[in-house]
Copies of this chain bind each other. A is one copy, B any other.
Amino acid sequence: MPSHSNPTITTIAESAGVSIASVSRVLNGLPVRDATERKVLAAAQSLGYVPNSVARSLKSSRTNQVAFAIEDIGNPVYLAMLREIQPVLKQAGYRLVLHSTGADLDEELEVLRGLGQRYADGLIISPIRVTPEHLAELERATAPVVVIGSLPDGSPVDNVRADSRTGVEMALRHLRDLGRRRIGFVNGPLDTVPGRSRDAAFRAGMRRWGMVLDEDLVHVGAFRRRTGAEATRALLAGDAAAHPDALLCANDLIALGALDVLRERGLRVPEEVAVVGMDDTDLAAASWPALTSVSLGSAERGRRAAQLLLDRLADPGSGREPRVVTVEPSLHVRASTGGDRVADDGAAPR
């Protein structure tokens, strides 16, 4: 039975049996579960809701700001994203608010909750872990959010993903084609998203290309140069016949540490040991020998996330389905595996 005045969000929420935030999300065209959307629209219709009054009031309180939340400003992977996100937002007339959560889970959740204070029209976030609390906050968010980093299927927000499995496969295939068979793997912590996914990718890739995985050649430490050095010293400690003829390192800093020790031991790179890094940061081209590295497309992931968010902001009523974009990895072959020895030009600091 339609009421005579336009119903409030609260009335619709009560009638639909969902939260006020869910009603707000549906009426503002933000992604929600299909079932929630159906309930809200049915309740709104039966109560005689005149569309867009809420959307209009939301529009009038625009901040022209978009927030980007990352774990650590010093991390070149996030910087590569930032470099792409900033100009895309700027061109669309948005200022960029930068959050650094210091790898603190509570701070990440605080950033998501803080959206309720309306200091930004939308948020791009790259969480260190995706917990049930994250998913609950994403469900409640009252402004569009794009997550960089894999979310479970069916999550309520737009999601930009890397494909570390394919990236690692490309590196292992390259090493196999160079005749390498004893592949060492030096990784960061397994309780982080990249540590776990790179470990899984290494194991899958070795199977995929029919190579024998020797657990003695797998080392886990931190995503730091010191881990690369320590792991390489350990790998070179035993019988020479058991040494690796190639090292896959889970980031470029680990690879730099490996190169340090190979140089110190007088082992030729790539003739005796080939080395591959990951993330293809500026350090890869700066090192000697220049480092072959797997790019997981951090720049592209940043650009795509910004575009997805702008689409939502430009037309909140369209396309309620959450979208998933997976960015292709690429392998940048340089001297550390016998590739191009001509140096990259790199960026232009001063």
The residues of A with any CB-CB pair to B shorter than 8 Å are 65, 72-77, 79, 82-83, 86-87, 90, 95-100, 102, 119, 188, 192, 194-195, 222-226, 229, 250-253, 256-257, 259-260, 263, 279, 281-283, 286-288, 343-350
Contact = CB atoms under 8 A, between A and B. Distances in A.
Report how many copies the assembly holds. Answer: 2
A346 B100 contact: no
A83 B102 CA distance: 11
A252 B349 contact: yes
A350 B77 contact: yes
A349 B95 CA distance: 26
Given A260-B343, A288-B288, A279 B229 contact: no
A75 B188 contact: no
A73 B281 CA distance: 15
Contacts of A102: 87
Contacts of A99: 95-96
The 4 tightest CB contacts between A and B, nearest first, are A223-B350, A288-B288, A283-B286, A286-B286
Nearest to A71: B350
A344 B225 contact: yes
B279 A350 contact: yes
Given A77-B350, A95-B97, 15 more contacts: A74-B83, A74-B348, A74-B349, A75-B347, A87-B100, A97-B97, A188-B350, A223-B350, A224-B346, A229-B343, A250-B350, A251-B349, A253-B347, A281-B349, A288-B288
Given A225-B346, A348-B253, A86 B100 contact: yes
Nearest to A82: B73
Given A253-B346, A286-B286, A96 B95 contact: no
A240 to B, nearest CB: 24
